[in-house]
A and B are shown apart, each in its own frame.
Chain A
Amino acid sequence: MSLTPELPDPALLHLLLPKWLTARARAASGEKGRGARIGILGFVGVLFWAFIFGVLYRLLTYFRGVDEIGALLAGKLLGLMLLGFTSILLLSNVITALSSFFLAKDLDMLVAAPVDWLKLYGAKLLETVIASSWMVVIVAIPMFTAYGIAYKGGMLFPLLAVGAMVPMFIIPAVIGSALTLILVNVFPARRTRDILSVIAVLAAGGIVLLFRLVRPERLARPEGFRSLMEFITVLRTPTSPLLPSEWVAKTTMGYLSGNPDWLSLYMLWSTAGALLVFGALLHRGLYHTGFSKAQESAQTVVKRGGFFHRLGQLVLSPFGILKRELLLKELRLFFRDTTQWSQLILLAVLVVVYVYNIKFLPLRGEGITFFLVNVVPFLNLVLAGFVLASIAARFIFPGVSLEGRTLWLLRSSPMAVRDLLWAKFWVGTLPLIILAVAIVGVTNYLLQVSDFMFFVSVGTILLMTFALSGMAIGFGTLFPQFETENAAQIPTSFGGLVYMMASVALIGAVIVLEARPVYGFLAARAFGQPIEPTEMALGFGAAALLCVLATLIPIRIAIRRLEAVER
């Protein structure tokens, strides 16, 4: 026995060992379809990198050719992108810290073990940094590569970029974790999770709105400024002199333009170091109380026979007891889980931004033809469809997976799987339809499109919404994640990716099928050509048939699949 008088002191790396072993086991597991999955992900990843690199490289080579303001523009662009990163990182760190410091399942074991507070802080902070920054790293790699190659940064540039970015990842992680720690301690314990998720979502909405109001695209249109000098003055003014993103931009552009700005690099590292000390001290003082509070259940008393309960009973009574109860269950689960519905706020903000952008499209004035004004809403369908597919992936796709732990109850009851899936379909589809019609209707109104295009776009988006929901149910059942508790992670699974690809294919197919009759109509109106009714009927009919089939077939397959599941 090795019970020594001194206290045990597991190394920080030991606390991270399970994560490392988990990653290794995942990498080594030879599960079915893994090769295909990696192949698809790799292909999509390379395309994504190539796209970002290509666009940025073209832009930067163009900037390089512009005297005086080229480097300023490149620096400004980098600063704006990094500012975006900072906002995303801060938000993502707040959310991740809540999970890694307070809700993770291994915390019971780690907190009950004789682990020094500083080690626990270090391990969980590192976990938070990695979990919340990897996406930014993926985007940053082609971005910095483009800067390095366009400005001939040389072999040492990657080192400098890493040296500048590491503190930029640490700073928001420490701030985010500290913020979470304070919030968990300040708010009434039972509501902490709810309040945090709402705050996080509101913050996300706020950031998105802020970005829109800053209107970064102005910089791309120098003609909007009164003089070149005014434009240069705006470019020279730091976007946010006290933010780490500006220091990274200065460090990078300074190095690339031959005037290294070591002060900015020093600011980055010293701030990160100081914040780490501050964060650790805060953790020492507040963590145990906060963790203890976070253990308390977020239980709330639900009032019996409230207005919504009575309304639900009344509205759904024609469906019969079973279907009514299934629908009510879906609605209750959704609205009582703050982490679910709070994302609707973010969604609302995104829709407002979307519509706002459409409003400011330069579709008025000379040279803007009737043709263009009516083609834009048609193409708008692609974007709206993609938005709806993303929402369906987030809210409808995980539906069956989330039943994993209760499947025994549903399967052992005298209920048809068909009823369960259709209940999920309708609960997910109705709000989606409202959203779809709102997006397309309002944007059409703002663009003042013709009645024909209004009818076509609203009809198409309606049918498309049904199809996207049906496919979400279908793919969600075909690729279930029964063991995942966090609904937000399910859409990022392989099945989620396949669903999104299928959705893009569907949207593309519908647009292609309708393109011909829409062109025919617009050409008829613009150039006085005759309308061909057969072409119209065939095009629209095929698109409608495709949507109907894409709604019904996946649900049929899902019913059969779920009936065969043995858990």
Chain B
Amino acid sequence: MIEITNLTKRYGDFTAVKNIDLLVPRGELFGFLGPNGAGKTTTLRMMAGILKPTSGAITVAGVDMIADPVAAKSKLGFIPDRPFIYEKLTGVEFLRFVAGLYGQEGLDVEHRGRELLALFDLESWANELVESYSHGMRQKLIISSAFVHRPEVIIVDEPMVGLDPKAARILKDLFREYTRRGHTIIFSTHTLEVAESLCDRLAIMVQGEIKAYGTMDDLRRTLQGGEKGLEELFLRLTGENAARDLVDVLDA
């Protein structure tokens, strides 16, 4: 469903993403993990067609993102980590606008919009201006906007930030059900429990490279982690000496 080949992104002398390959098939829930500054957001933004890769290729449902961006983007939904919503639009107007960007309108869209708002307890806020929404409510609205046009692939940067436990639970269920219906979701997260319980497969990025990639069992095998959980595997790859450093810091 989404395939990236030899993908590299350089900012001046700094290489944010180094020559990565990835294949996420249809119907998969795929998680991107990694410490801050590992290159997750850059990779996701390249997949969404926002950033232009320095080199490499991205295909979405067989369509080349660079050669035919409009066709590729028509199959995508994107939820950024710092979502922007027009402050002076109401929730329902915003959903209608996003659906329109994907060429969709009419009763189906209205119905889906209402259902999504209801799902996230935003029904009574549907006609309020976004400026009156709390951070979590904005997050719920932007998530709804990614589902309103039923894209084949949804790319999400940090979906759980700011959500209350109920909304987080709903989102997890929504992700699962959506992929069960044959759609694909790729998301980055720092919540390892969510990644471990939710994702079919995972990739751990460190300094722009994919250091480990596969199912939880694959990761355990690669990292010789025995029965260890994702947190131990993650720390082994990214910061095993943290405890020693802490002592040094606190003694300083």
Contact = CB atoms under 8 A, between A and B. Distances in A.
A1 interface: yes
Interface stretch (A21-29, A75-83, A129-137): A21-29
A189 B11 contact: yes
Interface residues of A, number: 39
Interface residues of B, number: 36
A275 interface: no
A67 interface: no
B101 A106 contact: no
A291 B73 CA distance: 16
Contacts of A229: none
Contact of A22 (B84, B88, B102): B88
A22 B84 CA distance: 14
Nearest to A26: B88
A115 interface: yes
A408 to B, nearest CB: 13
Contacts of B52: 288-289, 291-292
Nearest to A17: B97
Most buried by B among A105, A112, A188, A189: A112
A1 B69 contact: no
Contacts of A108: 50, 78, 80, 84
B86 A106 contact: yes
Interface in B84-130: 84, 86-90, 93-94, 97-98, 100-104, 106, 108, 129
A296 B71 contact: no
Contacts of B150: 1, 3
Contact of B73 (A106, A113, A188): A113
A114 B70 contact: yes
A463 B208 CA distance: 58
Interface in A8-53: 8-10, 14-15, 17-18, 21-22, 25-26, 29
A195 to B, nearest CB: 15
25 contacts: A1-B108, A7-B71, A8-B102, A8-B103, A9-B103, A10-B100, A10-B102, A14-B101, A18-B86, A18-B89, A105-B84, A108-B50, A110-B101, A112-B48, A112-B76, A112-B78, A113-B73, A113-B98, A113-B101, A113-B102, A115-B73, A190-B11, A288-B52, A292-B50, A296-B12
Interface of A: 1-4, 7-10, 14-15, 17-18, 21-22, 25-26, 29, 105-106, 108-117, 188-190, 288-289, 291-292, 295-296, 483
Interface of B: 11-12, 45, 48-52, 69-74, 76, 78, 80, 84, 86-90, 93-94, 97-98, 100-104, 106, 108, 129, 150
